[in-house]
Chain A
Amino acid sequence: MAITYEPIATTTLSSDTAEITFSSIPSSYTDLRLVFTPKTQYAGNYIWLRFNTDTDANYSRSVLYLDGSSFGTFHGNAETKIRMNFYTPTVGRFALYDADIFAYSSSSAKKTILYSGIEDNNGSGYLTRGVAMWSSSSAITSVTLTTDGGNILSGTVATLYGIKAA
């Protein structure tokens, strides 16, 4: 059978950078999957996801979150990008994020994403699980990972996979 889950591109940062972009994404897959292990530079630097460089307020999300002592849910609307974690990442600590981007090349459906953000610090940690929508019927051709204020640090790895149905 044909390979149906294959890497499209991987970026490993050798120096600090403000954002990582996967562009010219082929439209030949059914879904995309993004796996991202970043370190952030400053306190309060969240990790964000954006499509096709759209900076308008076209993103919304619902999340379930917990940190070992409390849990809750949050809804964000009319946002300019998707925040992938409810909690503030620990500075200089690698965390794990992933996102399944469904029907990304559809020209009729809005784009829905399942994602998670996880970090553990040997005594503290958090988990965020979310669903988000980019309210656009345009095919996704680029995916950008960014932070706010500081940089994404050297050593960060991001890989984009394509999943193809028969």
Chain B
Amino acid sequence: MPILGANSSGGSRPSAPVIGSATDGGTGTTASVAFTPSTYIGKGTITYTATSSPGNLTGTGSSPITVSGLTTGTAYTFTVRGTTNSGVASASSSASNSVTPATPTSFESIATFTGNGSSGSITFSSIPQTYKALQIRWTGRTTAAQTNADLYVQFNSVSNGYINHSIQGNGVAVETKNDVGGSYSIVYNSLTGNSATSGQMGVGVMDIEDYASTTRKKTFRAYSGQQRISQGGIRYTSGMAMYNTAISSITLTIGSGNWDSNSSVALYGIKGA
């Protein structure tokens, strides 16, 4: 048991640490407790302990301290106390804010773009490097006078070294394409245009694996299609950017025209275990 107060063998009592913010640890069963250390320690070194209420679950270390073993969905507050290596304990800090560990997420929304008819190019920038993979999902249409349109993909604004292969079925013929060394990867016929009936949209899902790697070339796949009652096409595309740099921005540009007001493009992050 720590010794509260001054004593002849252990020295005087350290001042109490000042509680900071308690936050969800992101695992469903942990919280992170920040604090400002004691301004007076006295003799020796000091170790800090964060204690939960309810449960009296503890974690030790320096700020921020991780407290484990919490119950998902239960609200907790925390206090922090320092103890010297002589066993002299400070008073406890005041209680932290309440935090409730939530069910951890593995598929998170990062950003969304909604078309307004005035831009043909969108860029997701400052992409966090904390996920295993990215997914882009779009519902799109161009303002250009055409029935369908292509989608051009660039990473980090680099304009060379892209490859893509694809296969499409449109009800009439099966078509395959091969583009090497281009200034972007192309997802063909993945959007509709304003010559299509109003409200008819192109859709797609693009998965970009290991986007944060600095040792692998960047590979993606896309399933996409557009259907216009009497015509349409389903396409599967593989693409690669021939460089190892982590992807921090993605630019999606319509082949012709601008994203119309019904268009929506969302970027998601997928966590690994």
Give the complex CA separation of A73 and B224 in angstroms. Answer: 15
Q: How large is the interface on A (under 10, 10 to 19, 20 to 34, 35 or more residues)?
A: 35 or more
Chain A residue at minimal CB-CB distance from B227: A133
Within 8 A of A (CB), among B201-228: 201-205, 223-228
Flag if B105 contacts A106 (CB, 8 Å).
no
- Shortest distance between the CB of B221 and any CB in chain A (Å): 12
Flag if A63 contacts B169 (CB, 8 Å).
yes
Q: B-facing mask of A31-72, CB < 8 A → 1, else 0?
A: 100000000000000000000000000001111110000011
Report the interface size for chain B: residues with CB under 8 A from the other chain.
44
Give the complex CA separation of A130 and B233 in angstroms. Answer: 8
Q: Which residues of A contact B170 (CB under 8 A)?
A: 62, 73, 75
- Shortest distance between the CB of B46 and any CB in chain A (Å): 35
Flag if A75 contacts B139 (CB, 8 Å).
no
Partner-binding segment picked from B1-9, B13-21, B106-114, B152-160: B106-114
Q: Which residues of A contact B202 (CB under 8 A)?
A: 112
Chain B residue at minimal CB-CB distance from A62: B232
Give the complex CA separation of A132 and B202 in angstroms. Answer: 10
Chain B residue at minimal CB-CB distance from A65: B169
Asked whether B63 is an interface residue with its Cβ less than 8 Å from the other chain, the reply is: no
Q: With A4-B108, A164-B109 known to touch, is A71 a contact of B174 (CB < 8 Å)?
A: yes
Further contacts, 15 of them, CB under 8 A, given A60-B227, A113-B203: A2-B105, A4-B107, A62-B231, A63-B234, A64-B169, A64-B234, A77-B229, A112-B202, A112-B203, A112-B225, A114-B223, A114-B225, A114-B234, A130-B234, A131-B225
CB-CB nearest 6 A-B residue pairs: A75-B171, A131-B225, A64-B169, A73-B169, A165-B266, A5-B107
